A and B are shown apart, each in its own frame.
Chain A
Amino acid sequence: MRTKTTTSTPVDVEDLGESNVSREAAGERGIRIKLRPAATTTFHIGGKGFRRYVVRNGLLTVTAKRVLGKSQTKAVVKEKEWGHTSEVTEAIKPFTIGEKIPYRQVIRARLRRLKEHLTATTHAPEVSLGERVAGICAHPGLRFAERLGARLQALLAISDEEQPEQAPPALASVKSLVAFLAAHPELVYPSVVLTQEGNVRVQWGGGPNKHFAVEFLGDGDVRFVIFAPDPRHPYKTIRVSGSATVDSVMRLAEPYDVRSWTDELFVGADAQ
């Protein structure tokens, strides 16, 4: 017997109270855990049934629809980060319909693993900017990997040619951009430039009242500019700018309806 659950508004796992949460409740409410740094990771708990956890930009969300089978005792966890896949098999207590599931324990184990993985990634020998940019062309988590990689390579070439007093492209900024785009596959391809400081700056729109630009500072922060129609007075334009973290900038921008010109859903696959 299988129970179908639906994902609705996610809540922080801390809000769920005790460690044992009923399968139905968790399925209906979903679970979201804040996690830094930004990453896109997909967990698959394999077996007869499955659950799927997606970490996007620091948020871990349960998006699964099915419960594990009665005889399930192992979970296969696949983690993908920067094209690297690791697989871990872990014992999970078997349970039956109606039984309480230790969601918090399960997720904590996943988080621990993810954190270890991210730490290991951080401490891995640093690759050069050229290698990193070349690698972007084959990045499995980016929808526009080839186009973005080619564009960054072109910018690198321009940077080499132009004034030597200007900063070279910042590797940390490039990494931040890639993590951001991987976490937001719904975004259409933006225009990409380099600032005089060597940071990557992307922009969607281009009209006088549809403009969303984000500069990746490389330390997990961004600077953004938004020009958008005032929802109550569409003939007027709202203009805001500021600083935010990579994983919060889209949420900050949403009230200005930037999705209407940044999301493929609204813009169309072939736009830009």
Chain B
Amino acid sequence: MSGDHIPDPDHIARYCGGKQIDENGRIDGAAFRLRRRDGIPEEYLSVNWLEFLATVNRPAQVAALQAVFLSKAFKVGSTARFAVLNVGDLRAYVRDESPDRRELSVLHEPEQDDASHCGLYGLRMDDDLISDLIAGIVHETYSAKAG
């Protein structure tokens, strides 16, 4: 349901364009920044709730997510990756390590063509330090392009 908190044991995936992935395959913090759309700052960082898609295993969840992106009018880059994060680990790490003890939350924000869509709340524009903190705890990435 829209606005529900995603449980801490669950996982989210962030689509990261190839431009924000370095030569060693590490996701840069630039992939976790809010953007301005038509001059208006985003309210949250778009992510997807993996357990909502499938509960079997990670490959099944990633395959389902690839299918979601394929069905949307979204150009998936050949070098783009999904960065997977555990919700509880993410929130605890940012809370413990950020200078302002930042409290993040992940809320379900389903869209018509993307029921697993969620928002990562608590970020601000030009929040480079928090974005780099988040990038630092990404240990799992998968190709965003199917096949």
What residues of chain A lie closer than 8 Å to B35, measured between beta carbons?
196
Minimal Cβ-Cβ distance residue in A for B21? A193
* Bound-state Cα–Cα, A231 to B125, Å: 30
What residues of chain B lie closer than 8 Å to A196, measured between beta carbons?
17, 19-20, 30, 33, 35
Chain B nearest CB, measured from A247 CB (Å) = 20
What residues of chain B lie closer than 8 Å to A161, measured between beta carbons?
18, 75, 77-78
Minimal Cβ-Cβ distance residue in B for A224? B128
Whether A206 lies near B26 (C-beta < 8 A) is yes
What residues of chain B lie closer than 8 Å to A192, measured between beta carbons?
22-23
Whether A201 lies near B30 (C-beta < 8 A) is yes
Whether A215 lies near B97 (C-beta < 8 A) is no
Neighbour of B33 across the interface among A194, A195, A240, CB < 8 A: A195
Chain B nearest CB, measured from A196 CB (Å) = 5
- Number of A-B residue pairs having CB atoms within 8 Å of each other in the complex: 85
Neighbour of B19 across the interface among A162, A164, A203, A208, CB < 8 A: A162
Whether B128 lies near A215 (C-beta < 8 A) is yes
- In this assembly, does B70 line the interface, its C-beta being within 8 Å of a C-beta of chain A? no
Whether B136 lies near A208 (C-beta < 8 A) is yes
Interface of A: prevailing SS: strand
**In the complex with contacts A158-B17, A163-B75, A195-B30, A239-B22 CB distance below 8 A:** no
What residues of chain B lie closer than 8 Å to A215, measured between beta carbons?
30, 128
- In this assembly, does A16 line the interface, its C-beta being within 8 Å of a C-beta of chain B? no
* Bound-state Cα–Cα, A191 to B23, Å: 7
A33-77 residues with Cβ-Cβ distance < 8 A to B are none
Whether B26 lies near A191 (C-beta < 8 A) is yes
**In the complex with contacts A195-B30, A211-B136, A225-B128, A162-B80 CB distance below 8 A:** yes
- In this assembly, does B2 line the interface, its C-beta being within 8 Å of a C-beta of chain A? no
Contact with B along A184-205 (1 / 0, CB 8 A): 0000000111111000010100
- In this assembly, does B113 line the interface, its C-beta being within 8 Å of a C-beta of chain A? no
What residues of chain B lie closer than 8 Å to A164, measured between beta carbons?
75
Interface of B: prevailing SS: loop
* Bound-state Cα–Cα, A192 to B21, Å: 8
**In the complex with contacts A193-B28, A206-B26, A213-B75 CB distance below 8 A:** no
* Bound-state Cα–Cα, A191 to B29, Å: 12
Q: How many residues on the A side are at the interface (Cβ–Cβ under 8 A)?
A: 30
- In this assembly, does B24 line the interface, its C-beta being within 8 Å of a C-beta of chain A? yes
Whether A158 lies near B79 (C-beta < 8 A) is yes
- In this assembly, does B132 line the interface, its C-beta being within 8 Å of a C-beta of chain A? yes
What residues of chain A lie closer than 8 Å to B20, measured between beta carbons?
193-196
Whether B99 lies near A239 (C-beta < 8 A) is yes
Whether B132 lies near A193 (C-beta < 8 A) is no
- In this assembly, does B67 line the interface, its C-beta being within 8 Å of a C-beta of chain A? no
Minimal Cβ-Cβ distance residue in A for B33? A196
* Bound-state Cα–Cα, A163 to B22, Å: 18
Whether B28 lies near A191 (C-beta < 8 A) is yes
Whether A193 lies near B128 (C-beta < 8 A) is no
* Bound-state Cα–Cα, A195 to B133, Å: 16
Whether A225 lies near B132 (C-beta < 8 A) is yes
- In this assembly, does B8 line the interface, its C-beta being within 8 Å of a C-beta of chain A? no
Contact with B along A211-226 (1 / 0, CB 8 A): 1010100000001110
Chain B nearest CB, measured from A165 CB (Å) = 8
B1-36 residues with Cβ-Cβ distance < 8 A to A are 17-24, 26, 28-30, 33, 35
3 residue pairs, one from A and one from B, having the closest CB atoms: A191-B22, A241-B129, A194-B19
22 contacts between A and B (CB under 8 A): A151-B23, A158-B17, A158-B19, A159-B19, A161-B75, A161-B77, A162-B80, A163-B77, A166-B17, A191-B28, A193-B22, A195-B19, A196-B33, A201-B30, A203-B28, A206-B24, A206-B26, A223-B126, A225-B29, A239-B97, A239-B99, A241-B129
> Besides the contacts A193-B28, A239-B133, A241-B132, what 12 more A-B pairs have beta carbons closer than 8 Å?
A159-B19, A161-B18, A163-B17, A163-B77, A166-B17, A195-B33, A196-B17, A196-B33, A213-B128, A213-B132, A225-B128, A227-B132
